Amino acid sequence: MIGILKKLRVLLDRKQKLQMVGLVPLMIIGAAFETASIALVLSVVTAIITPESLEKNKFVYFFYNAFGFKDVKTFTIVSMVLLIGAFILKNVYLFLEWKVQYAFVYRNQFNTSEKMLKSYLKRGYEYYLYADTAVVQRSITSDVNNMYGLILSLLTIASEAVVAASLIVMIFLVEPLMCVIIGILLLVTMIVITKILKPVMHRSGQENQDFYAGLFKWISQIVQGIKEVKVTGKEKYFINEYKKCGTGYVNAVERYSLYNNTPKLLIETVCISGMIGYLLVMVITGQDISTKVPSLSAFAFAAMKLMPSANKINNQINAISFFEPFLKNVSDNLLTDISDENTDMSFVLKESEKLPVKQGITLKDITYRYPKTEKYIFKNAEMEIPIGKAVGVVGQSGAGKTTIVDILLGLLELEGGGVYADNVNIKDDYRGWLKNIGYIPQMIYMLDGTIRQNVAFGVSEEEMSEERVWEVLKEAHLDDFIRSLPEGLDTEIGERGIRLSGGQRQRIGIARALYNDPEVLVLDEATSALDNDTEAAIMESINSLHGRKTLIIIAHRLQTIEKCDMIYRVKDGKITKE
């Protein structure tokens, strides 16, 4: 428990901690209402069963005299009506307390989830070379949700502990010996339950975490590879793999739900057995039970109220064991990233001016190898790209052509050297450099939205220029096709652009790259997946930009770069001009 609190102390910011502290007085007041309502019930019940005991209860007798009651019956009727009002007041307060508590949990749950998303967005491109998408999705959603499930469990324990403590004091005052006996039995029961169930719950939480990520993974793989799945007739394989994860997930959740509710049965059995056992001893020893009917009735009522509190506390202890692996994952991954400073995304809101490029782009002394590998892709490599020229880059598969693209885009952390635009290191004004560079990959990423949204990628509807969208579609030679569609720019293209042909997706990619009017266009084997006729048509659109834009064309087919002004070959960690 101490380890959990230490993690939360780091993961929660100052505002969240203050909010949690602010909940404590609310819970204490709620516990006071609970205890007071039960005390009122006990007093009224006692007055009804044994009216002669009224004078013995100083608290009740004070109010009897203070309000001038003439007989016990009238006092009892008024007390019963007030009791109803007291319970209504108490429950209204508890409703508002829960509202504040749930607002804290669920609003901060999304706040942390948003911070997690920002943290992942701020990570370098190299992180995603090895990242498991399903785990990232689970971390941002399920792990954060369950982390706040743990926080809600802690708050519930605190609230119920205050209520339980008040009830125990009250029960002790009514019937001390029975209270001690049942208290010991209950404590032993809860310790035994916790010792047995905590490892089971912890393991269930870990399995839930692993199998839930697996469900994300197989759904994603099925959707993204649906064509291959259907063509190869492998539906059964993917269903079976998804089913394996689903079975593990269901078993983990089932085990958690079952064992989380089992203690309720044991606690109830122990409490009732303890009470009846105590009465049984009194009967056997010849004691007069009738004299204890009022106190025993009061004790029974209070005990019935105590049992749910004890059960809730036990359930939440088990829940914490279940949720702990999720908290650990959030803590391990984001302990240094969860703060506002490390999740600050204000830099993306600042409007950057384009980094001017008038003379050329230079790759100087480039030295790079991918993380977790020993082999260098480049060692002290050099490359000059004059502005306004078309530059082709060729080489065998694996030589490093795409690595050059990622270096030009500033996505990789170099061991040595740098990329310079007119002798200015692009890292010194990275956002400005990105505004002046357009990127056309082999596989165009498509939003599941309209053509308009895919061309003006990441631009809000309010800031989008329809005129500019049509201009770049014309340059990509796609405007006539779009105008022929019934819904024009508002045509939905489906997930991953499934309703468009490969050539149409590439033309949308060209239009997207041109939208911000960059000086430099980088094409990373942008036509290699197309047939010859479509490639020729796409290259005609690209070559029409020759002289107006600086073109950097990565290709493995010579006809793709036949109109380039210069060609570089990538081989053995060097970039040589041909």
Confidence (pLDDT) at 59: 61
- SS3 label, residue 391: strand
Token pair, residue 562, equals 């036949």
Provide the residue type at 503 as one letter.
G
Provide the residue type at 34 as one letter.
E
Q: Give the containing element (helix H, strand E) for 97.
A: helix 72-122
Instruction: Check: CB of residue 320 under 8 Å from CB of residue 154.
Output: yes
> Closest by alpha carbon to 515, among 462, 461, 454?
454
360-368/378-386 β-pairing: antiparallel
Domains of the chain: 2-334 (1.20.1560.10), 360-577 (3.40.50.300)
DSSP state of 341: T
* Number of continuous H segments (helices) and E segments (strands) in the chain: 18, 10
What stretches in the chain show pLDDT beneath 70?
1, 42-67, 69-70, 72, 174, 198, 202, 209, 224, 226-228, 231-232, 261, 288-305, 333-351, 529
Instruction: Check: CB of residue 439 under 8 Å from CB of residue 515.
Output: no
Instruction: Check: CB of residue 206 under 8 Å from CB of residue 322.
Output: no
Confidence (pLDDT) at 232: 65
Distance (Å, rounded) from C-alpha 529 to C-alpha 132? 26
Instruction: Check: CB of residue 299 under 8 Å from CB of residue 122.
Output: no
Residue 236 CB-half CA count within 13 A: 1
Distance (Å, rounded) from C-alpha 362 to C-alpha 441? 21
DSSP state of 492: B
* Ordered strands of the 378-386 beta sheet: 378-386, 360-368, 416-421, 424-425
* Ordered strands of the 566-571 beta sheet: 437-440, 520-524, 550-554, 390-394, 566-571, 574-577
Distance (Å, rounded) from C-alpha 228 to C-alpha 49? 79
- In degrees and rounded to multiples of 5, residue 163 shows phi and psi of -60, -50
DSSP state of 459: -
Number of neighbours of residue 97 by Cβ within 10 angstroms: 17
